[in-house]
Structure 1
């Protein structure tokens, strides 16, 4: 039961931690996804909404975790996991939307952008002299995929006619499959596909359009380059650690050793996730928390063009969905947390986003 509890709580606890930390990752000028001028980044309404949001996430999160513990005793594990994850979203969404509404209301009422010169900034050198992708950081993930494949090839001639593909939490096999190349190497295919997807996305992200600060374009461009490298390295570390977990699962399926507790299998994934979250907190959105030109604390105050970043909230309904038919970019930096999101006003972006989502499902269908 303790192992079942650990597996059931993993997703909700991780989700609540990320949601509590989410405002820390955002730019000071993008509280809860609302664009504000730097002069109003410390407005009382923003500080008040941040306190309210975090208190709500903490208090409601304790209730969700307690409920998840109870559900472990009452429902099958997959059902309990699903309910707990949905509960996390249900808890977060009203608190987030309330904070956005309150900040947006004060912003409009007090005219925070009145009389300000708005603008946008671009860095063409990101195309002409792009950041060098850290290929060496991808080597561990690639080697782990190769090691898993080699071990599978070595083990395959001695595999029994039927493979155990799943165990319940007390170690009893509860799902089997006839031994074929597809079933024996299913995890290898998934491992290779997942690694290729993460490496490919990180490589492509170097060419995504950044969200530079119009008040300090040179500084923010420098910070963005640091953000690209740090994020790519963190995600490649995550890919390697996920591959470790999949190697362990595959080895157990091939009968290479005793079944390890679920906590041991999940641990590499947990460590990799912590690396990504830590990198996101250290860099901030687009590198906004990184030092400027190697000088800690210099920040955007070292440069001032007299402009403020354009108020583009109208393109961000709900703060996390970007819809701009006039924008040719397929992917743009997120307004919440760290990373990129699709431009739902661009048909090519929607098609690529759908392909990324459908790829794991299609792989599963093919393997079956």
Structure 2
């Protein structure tokens, strides 16, 4: 059984299914399947039932696709790179869609927000006295990038006239190109672009607007601070792990006479994802899973609930479009992290940049 096939067809679907199974627990209690709801409805029987059904569907579809991945990798040996992970994502999305539609229907039928005081709250201290960005955690990624560049400079004079630029699932080279700065140093350029991109996104998300609870604004602000720091650290570590994967790929390019196991390329990325998921499980979106800090003064409930803002979330609650909102990034409705405000022109420009950079990078090989 090829290690690369196992990583792509078995390990990746397992990680994706496990993450999807956990997502309802990572999201705050007022956003079941991306539907805004009052605190009093967080344990409503309909929501509990949809969580149960969602997880059952994820468990069944994930198990089936992992079994298919094992058969594909070890018995039939079909060459369908990425198909099993994509099918896993599609199955998870279908389970989420069914649960969301069901919760939304109950919310409308029972008028969950009828008679409630809705509000939005902001903590100006998050701007005037923000948490310090954890720059030291970016050092590992920067050192790996620098080390890879130095190795490339030392190795370049002894490279053959033609260097490998593509590899099979077993680690052997199957496509070559003339030696040049762009072909020999492509892994270094990829490292630099990815590291800069992740650093920029991490910094932007670190400064993104907090989704505070108007019922207990001070408590939720404290949780947001801890959440933003921990999430930034996890993303910076992911950058380092991904750079390690690119370093392993660079070694294959610079030593065409040596076969580099695809597992050495894939495992660092998977390890980085495990770190991100592990920290996400402990913190929850916006810090929803974090306990209140010891010694913190108990805050009296104001009686207000978060504003019902479902109207600004399109495409099953995954796309945010609000032209009146100046925010560039906003917290996701389901899962961990942030998403772009497509109602903000700067957000559209950011999304285009995120799409174009990976698309243009391979042009260096031509």
The one of 302, 305, 313 aligned to 1:305 = 302
| Equivalent-residue separation in structure 2 for 1:241 and 1:53 (angstroms) | 31
> Bigger shift: 247-256 or 123-132?
247-256
> Bigger shift: 286-295 or 96-105?
286-295
| Equivalent-residue separation in structure 2 for 1:172 and 1:141 (angstroms) | 27
1:176 Cα offset (Å): 1.1
Using structure 2 for the length normalisation, give the TM-score: 0.93
1:74 Cα offset (Å): 5.3
The answer to whether the Cα contact below 8 Å between 2:313 and 2:320 also exists between their aligned partners in 1 is yes
| Equivalent-residue separation in structure 2 for 1:257 and 1:289 (angstroms) | 50
The answer to whether the Cα contact below 8 Å between 1:219 and 1:303 also exists between their aligned partners in 2 is no
| Equivalent-residue separation in structure 2 for 1:23 and 1:351 (angstroms) | 31
> Bigger shift: 181-190 or 250-259?
250-259
1:285 aligns with 285
Report the count of equivalent residues.
Answer: 363
1:88 aligns with 88
1:62 aligns with 63
- State the secondary structure of the residue aligned to 2:319: coil
| Equivalent-residue separation in structure 1 for 2:171 and 2:263 (angstroms) | 13
| Equivalent-residue separation in structure 2 for 1:172 and 1:342 (angstroms) | 39
- 1:71-82 map, 5 Å: 71-72=72-73, 77=79, 80-82=80-82
- State the secondary structure of the residue aligned to 1:81: coil
The answer to whether the Cα contact below 8 Å between 1:61 and 1:88 also exists between their aligned partners in 2 is yes
1:145 Cα offset (Å): 0.4
**Which consecutive residues of structure 2, in runs of 5 or more, have no partner in the other structure?**
none
1:357 Cα offset (Å): 1.5
Q: Does 1:15 align with 2:12?
A: no
The answer to whether the Cα contact below 8 Å between 1:64 and 1:88 also exists between their aligned partners in 2 is yes
Using structure 1 for the length normalisation, give the TM-score: 0.93
> Bigger shift: 226-235 or 244-253?
244-253
The answer to whether the Cα contact below 8 Å between 2:8 and 2:81 also exists between their aligned partners in 1 is yes
1:109 Cα offset (Å): 2.1
1:352 Cα offset (Å): 1.4
Distance 1:106 1:174, change over 3 A: same
Q: Does 1:43 align with 2:48?
A: no
Instruction: Give the superposed CA RMSD.
Output: 2.0
| Equivalent-residue separation in structure 1 for 2:270 and 2:311 (angstroms) | 37
| Equivalent-residue separation in structure 1 for 2:183 and 2:170 (angstroms) | 23
